[in-house]
Amino acid sequence: MAAGVRHDCTFVVPHLIGDYVPPGAVLVEVHGGTSAPDPRHMTGLIALGAERTIEQDPAFALRILVDIAIRALSPAVNDPTTAIQVLNHIESFLTVVGSAQLRDHYVMADDRGRPRLVLHGRDWEDYLQLAVSEIRDYGATSIQACRRLRALFDGLLENLPAAQHPAVETQLELLRQSVDCAFPDTARRAVAQWPDRQGIGGRSRPHR
Q: Is residue 203 part of a domain?
A: no
Nearest CA among 171, 164, 186 for reference residue 130: 171
Mean pLDDT of 183-196: 94
Q: Is residue 200 part of a domain?
A: no
pLDDT confidence of residue 207: 45
Q: Is residue 206 part of a domain?
A: no
Chain center to CA of 117: 24
Q: Is residue 21 part of a domain?
A: yes
Q: Residue 98, class by beta-carbon neighbours within 10 Å (0-12 exposed, 13-18 middle, 19+ buried)?
A: buried
Q: Strand, coil or helix: what is 53? A: coil
Question: CA torsion sign, 174 to 178 to 184 to 190?
Answer: negative
pLDDT confidence of residue 101: 86
Q: Is residue 199 part of a domain?
A: no
With b for 16 or more beta-carbon neighbours within 10 A and e for fewer, the 6-40 pattern comes to ebebbbbbeeebeeeeeeeeeebebeeeeeebeee
* % of residues, the chain, pLDDT over 70: 97
Q: Is residue 205 part of a domain?
A: no
Q: Is residue 135 part of a domain?
A: yes
For residue 117, pLDDT over 90 is answered with yes
pLDDT confidence of residue 204: 54
pLDDT band at 208 (very low <50, low <70, confident <90, very high): very low
Mean pLDDT of 163-189: 96
For residue 28, pLDDT over 60 is answered with yes
Per-residue pLDDT tens digits for 61-113: 999 999 999 999 999 999 999 999 999 999 999 999 999 989 999 999 999 99
Compute the distance between CA of residue 30 and CA of residue 20 in angstroms, rounded to an integer.
21
Residue 139 has a CB neighbour count (10 Å cut-off) of 28
pLDDT confidence of residue 205: 55
For residue 187, pLDDT over 50 is answered with yes
Cβ atoms of 9 and 30 closer than 8 Å: yes
Per-residue pLDDT tens digits for 31-58: 998 888 999 999 899 999 999 999 889 9
Nearest CA among 131, 134, 150 for reference residue 70: 134
Range of the domain at 119: 2-192
pLDDT confidence of residue 16: 93
The pTM score is 0.89
Per-residue pLDDT tens digits for 2-11: 999 999 999 9
Overall number of domains in the chain: 1
Phi and psi (nearest 5°) for 80?
Answer: -65, -25
Residue 174 has a CB neighbour count (10 Å cut-off) of 16
Compute the distance between CA of residue 124 and CA of residue 104 in angstroms, rounded to an integer.
9
DSSP string covering 131-199, please? HHHHHHHHTTT-HHHHHHHHHHHHHHHHHS-GGGHHHHHHHHHHHHHHHHHH--SHHHHHHHTS--TTS
Cβ atoms of 7 and 34 closer than 8 Å: yes
Q: Is residue 204 part of a domain?
A: no
